[in-house]
Each structure stands twice: as structure tokens, then as C-alpha cells.
Structure 1
């Protein structure tokens, strides 16, 4: 595989890509590596129809553990736990008082917590989030960012219809080293964007690259197909 990919890998270039984000998004400082502790930041892009945000509740999904939030200038973090398991189920940040609510939707907010991610590479973790807003006249409104788009029937194409109010989502990736990495994929991967920071991906006689230039070389390579999806049990080689 490596010998056959020499021409392609030599021509790999970095791809700077932007993706549509939810109005409330979540990100880590670097790749979100499975089974590791990460600092996750929730970005609140705007309020509700011109009203300022005064409270954000982030629900913690199963598999995300060791949650420890940070207080912020926005407000102190309040942790809610399951009484039987003591597992953190949500973290809520609320502005200290009504006087701290702004007269209009003018600010961008960042809220941070630290947590252990599930050891399930190539999966997407959703954080349903409830946004509470308050207008200058005291009118309150709520937006529930709980939609989970995507999914597939395992035989046909993935469902790429975006959810109306998408939940903040984080793609969990396997540990990697610079150069070639071999993985056995245990999940269905129908969105090749999980390899957006890779140079090239090989699975048998199929290959994929986020670089349009490299992808065009793959299309021209004899006896090589464009890798469009990966199914459980597949061995792949990824160059970072």
C-alpha cells in the first residue's frame, strides 16, 4: 500500500477547511482523542431573536466522564448528578443577576469544562444544550439545541439533512503519531470529514484525501477507487 501511494503522498498538501457550525458549538484545543481527558469549550454564537443569553445548560451524554467545569465571567458553573450513580448529567452556567443580562444580543460567550471522552474512535458525541434568554423588557425565551443530524441505514447513503436546532457535536478520533497510522475501524464511517486533518487515507485499493488536489490524483490512479465510506472491521492506513 505504501509503495503504491508514494506518488500520491508526495503530492499531499494541507487543507484549510471550514465547516458549518451549530449556533452553539463545542471544540477542543486539538483533535478530540478517544479515551483521553480534554478541555471542551462551548461557544455561544448568539442569543434568541435579539435577546441576551442568561443561562446555558449542557447535558452530559453517556460515556463522557470525570466532568469538571470551569467558572467563567458569564457565571458560576452548577453541576447536576445522577443520585444513584453520582455521574454528572449536566452543567449549567447562569448570569449572577438580572442586572448582568445585557439589553440586547451583543456578546459571544465561551463556557469550558474538562472531561474524559469515551474510548470509541470515529464516533460523534452530542451535547444537548438548553439556551435561556431574556429580553430588555423581561420576556424570557428558550431554545433547545438537541437535534442530532446524520445517521444512515448501513446499506444506503448517510442522512446528511441538518437538524433544525443541532446539538453541539464533537467527533472523537483515535490517537495518532506523525506519519502512517494503522487502525481497525469498529464503527460505520459515512462522513469522511473525520479525516479533515489527515493527508491521505487508504483502505485496500481505495483512498481518500481532504485535499482536492490529492483527491484528483486518487481518481486518476490506476486500479484505485475513491474511499467514500468505511464499515466495521476494516483496516485502514492514515497518514497525518
Structure 2
């Protein structure tokens, strides 16, 4: 019986520490990448009504996947380094995407799980890419935006950004 109680306590503790993470945590430099953000809980028991992802520099040509019951909002900005795509210059890119529940019936309840998806092209260089994710709930908010000062370890971070490790081309 003690073993069961301890296991249940550990499961609850790990659920409380869960983050918004990427389904695929590594991808090859220069490849097209489908970023699937896994949302496993709300904010201290409150339902999620909006997910906002800030895209890292170098993630090009990003396009979000619409979700039934959720409205998409896109924020574009001028690129520091324009590039060419299909023979045309690209000077502006998607900087932030938000999915907002249309009605309270569409909210992602704390006890439910869902995924929010976008795709884009990874930079040609290997290294970490950090996606900052703001989770706005009916009551409260979690800003999953912390990054370590160096390296890729999220140990000790309370609200870490979602990490994608871009690996060298094979």
C-alpha cells in the first residue's frame, strides 16, 4: 500500500512539473520541420484558452496548422537577414502565432491533452532553437520562455522554453 501511495505522489509531482514540449526534440539542419507543441495541462487547474508561440530566428517560412474551434492570429516582422524562396526575395516572416479558443466550450480543460502544430525550415547550422510559448488560461498564465544562460540543460528552470536541437546535416 505504501508503494502505491508513493508512486501516486511521484506521478502527481511530475505532472505538476510538466512543460509544453516538442514531440520531436531533434531535427537535421536545413530540413523542413513540423513543430508539434504538446500541451498536457492548464494553469494550476484552470483551462487553457490561448497558446502563443514566438518563433526563433532562423526558423524560415513558418506556417501554422489551423485547429477547429480555435482562431489563428499571426504577427509578421521584417527579417534581419532576408532570403530567397522559389526565386523571390523574402523580407518579412512569421514571428509569432497564436491559437485562441473561439468559445468556452473550445477551451482546453486542465485534465485534457492537445497539440498545436506549425511547420517551417530549420537554419543550415546545427545548434539549439528555443521556442517561447505563452499559455493563457481562464485564470492565470504560464510563460514557457526561460532559457539557460549557456548550453541546453533546462534543469532548475521553472518555466523552460521548448527546445529543439538542430543536428548537423548527414
TM-score (structure 2 length as normaliser): 0.75
2:20 to 17, 24, 44: 24
2:46 to 44, 51, 62: 51
Aligned to 1:73: 68
Residue 142 of structure 1 and its aligned partner are, at CA, apart by: 1.1
Q: Distance in 2 between matches of 1:69 and 1:45?
A: 20
Deviates more, 1:51-60 or 1:167-176: 167-176
Deviations along 1:53-108, whole A, 9 cap, x unmatched?
A: 11000001111110011012352332110157421110111111123236x51111
Deviations along 1:200-231, whole A, 9 cap, x unmatched?
A: xxxxxxxxxxxxxxxxxxxxxxxxxxxxxxxx
| CA RMSD between the two structures | 2.4
User: Would the alpha carbon gap of residues 119 and 22 (structure 1) be closer, same or farther in structure 2, given more than 3 Å must change?
Assistant: farther
Aligned to 2:3: none
The structure that has the greater radius of gyration is 1
Q: SS at the partner of 1:127?
A: strand
Deviations along 1:178-218, whole A, 9 cap, x unmatched?
A: xxxxxxxxxxxxxxxxxxxxxxxxxxxxxxxxxxxxxxxxx
Q: Retained in 2: the 8 A contact 1:74–1:95?
A: yes
User: Would the alpha carbon gap of residues 160 and 83 (structure 1) be closer, same or farther in structure 2, given more than 3 Å must change?
Assistant: closer
Q: Tell whether 2:126 aligns with 1:130.
A: no
Residue 160 of structure 1 and its aligned partner are, at CA, apart by: 6.5
Which ranges of structure 1 fall in alignment gaps of 5 or more residues? 1-20, 135-139, 153-157, 177-240
User: Which one has more relative contact order, counting CA pairs under 8 Å at least 6 apart?
Assistant: 2
Count of residue pairs brought into register by the alignment? 143
Aligned to 1:86: 92
Instruction: Name whichever structure is richer in strand by fraction.
Output: 2
TM-score (structure 1 length as normaliser): 0.54
Q: SS at the partner of 1:128?
A: strand
Q: Retained in 2: the 8 A contact 1:54–1:94?
A: yes
Q: Distance in 1 between matches of 2:157 and 2:121?
A: 26
